[in-house]
Amino acid sequence: MAEIRFEHVTKRFGNHVAVNDLNLTVHDRELLTLVGPSGCGKSTTLSMLAGLEDPSSGLITIDGRVVNDVPPGARDIAMVFQSYALYPHMTVRQNIGFGLEVRGVPKREIERRVMEAATILGIQDLLDRRPKELSGGQRQRVALGRALTREPKAFLLDEPLSNLDAQLRMQMRAELKLLFARVQGTVVYVTHDQAEAMTLSDRIAVMNQGVLQQVGTPLEVYNRPKNVFVARFLGSPSMNFIPCEVCRDGGDTYLEGPGLRYSLKGELRALAETAPDRRVILGIRPEDLKVVPKDEHAGLRCQIVLIESMGSQQFIYAQAGNGRIIVTTEPDFQATVGEDIQLALDDRKLHLFDRATEQNLLFMAAGSSVA
């Protein structure tokens, strides 16, 4: 297994910069997820690692060896495609063993490794079928099997679950996690699904418009998002953002925004005061807001406009000034549309972003780096 490094990697297609000065290290035996909206450069990054695209500049190393000029077949990586890309004219057995056959592995060894992968994936009974006779989930397993038998230095997975239905996707997500814990491989996993990224990864790398935004463990990235983009992208429903001013009244410092006047103390106050022009964006996750009796002063006043019951929880959409707020509540929380409510904030769960740069003030004060 191997460590993978991207050093100042840039990829241009004509005038379009798909990946911009990427610096990223994937540690040995780590599952790193590249996540971001479509067109953010994550798949291009994976293609460059696989050797299917050449970087315009920069270096890519696998296990300390620069692979920029190494053809894909010689990089010792295996890839699982979103479309599975199984060979339709071959049986499952031939599909799984094909990579080994091309490499001249002896027949008996191929058979052994195919059986081993098939047993791990539970597809021993399907070995003599062709891809068109398989369901989506089974094809997915065959595609994984094809990667597993190769025993490569790294596994590259390009949105492997996005063609499956919601239920199967959750099931496969859990299976993938168990599988990669078992084979202990270095895995680079590309997805646009933040839930997959959060649940599967050892670390997440969030990308947007070709630029790496933040790298960290799922909880680091979720709890300390580096900027508004990362904060908005991770978490469902998305984080609430309220444009605010940092105001002073005598000795008191508070945040003032639509439906909000919130007194700041301690660390948060110190942080708010670092905002360059006192104009900030307050970020609060829906689950960090709590509905409290109306007579309490602190917090956010708003009016309920819509209630969505999800069974296990409830999403309340509320209007605060001209902004929209989403709150997650217990499923049995009683509320009616049109009702005024008061939401309590928790100092430890608030995120402050500079309004001009949309950077988290925490990182701006520290003089940030991505990783």
Partner 1 sequence: MSERAMSPAINYRLQRHLKTGLLYGITGLVLIIIAFPAYWLVTTSVKVGADQATYPPVIIPTRFTLESYEAVFQTAGVPRAFLNSTIIALATTALTTFFGSLAAYALAKTYLSFALRRAIMLWILITRIFPPITTAIPYYVLIKRLHLGDTYIAVILTYVAYGLPFVIWLMLGFFQDLPADIEKAAIVDGCSMWQRFRRVVLPLALPGLAVTAIFAFIYSWNELLYASMLTSFNAKTVPVVVAGFISDQYLRWGEMSALGTLMIIPVLIFSSLAQRYLVRGLTFGAVKG
We find the least distance from the C-beta atom of residue 106 to partner 1, in angstroms, to be 16
The size of the interface with partner 1 (CB under 8 A), counted in residues, is 34
User: For partner 1, which is the closer residue by CB, 34 or 352?
Assistant: 34
Listed in sequence order, the DSSP H helices in the chain are 42-50, 92-102, 107-121, 136-149, 166-183, 194-200, 218-223, 228-233, 266-272, 361-366
Which string of b and e fits 53-70 if b means at least 16 CB within 10 Å? bebeebebbbbeeebeee
74 binds partner 1 (CB under 8 A): yes
Query: What gap in Å lies between CA 249 and CA 258, rounded to an integer?
Result: 18
Map the footprint of partner 1 across residues 50-69, applying CB under 8 A.
50-52
Q: How far is CA 115 from CA 76, 104, 120, 148, 350, in A?
A: 21, 18, 9, 11, 52
78 binds partner 1 (CB under 8 A): yes
Would you state the structure tokens that stand for residue 268, as one six-digit string? 């948060």
Give me the count of residues in the chain: 371
Position 231: which residue type?
Answer: A
83 binds partner 1 (CB under 8 A): yes
Among 20, 25, 56, 82, binds partner 1 (CB under 8 A): 82
User: For partner 1, which is the closer residue by CB, 82 or 319?
Assistant: 82
Binding mask 122-161 for partner 1 (x = CB under 8 A): --------xxxxxxx--x------x---x-----------
Among 88, 250, 251, 338, binds partner 1 (CB under 8 A): 88
Query: What gap in Å lies between CA 25 and CA 89, rounded to an integer?
Result: 38
Judged by CB under 8 A, which stretch of 27-35, 71-79, 301-309, 346-354 contacts partner 1?
Answer: 71-79
We find the least distance from the C-beta atom of residue 86 to partner 1, in angstroms, to be 6
Would you state the structure tokens that stand for residue 284, as one six-digit string? 């609060």
Map the footprint of partner 1 across residues 252-291, applying CB under 8 A.
none
We find the least distance from the C-beta atom of residue 52 to partner 1, in angstroms, to be 6
Among 73, 106, 122, 331, binds partner 1 (CB under 8 A): 73
Judged by CB under 8 A, which stretch of 98-106, 110-118, 209-217, 316-324 contacts partner 1?
Answer: 98-106
Q: Are 134 and 144 in contact (CB under 8 A)?
A: no
Query: What gap in Å lies between CA 58 and CA 6, rounded to an integer?
Result: 8
Judged by CB under 8 A, which stretch of 87-95, 242-250, 268-276, 346-354 contacts partner 1?
Answer: 87-95
Would you state the structure tokens that stand for residue 195, as one six-digit string? 């839930």
Q: Contact residues for partner 1 (CB under 8 A)?
A: 50-52, 72-74, 77-79, 81-89, 98-99, 102-103, 130-136, 139, 146, 150, 163-164
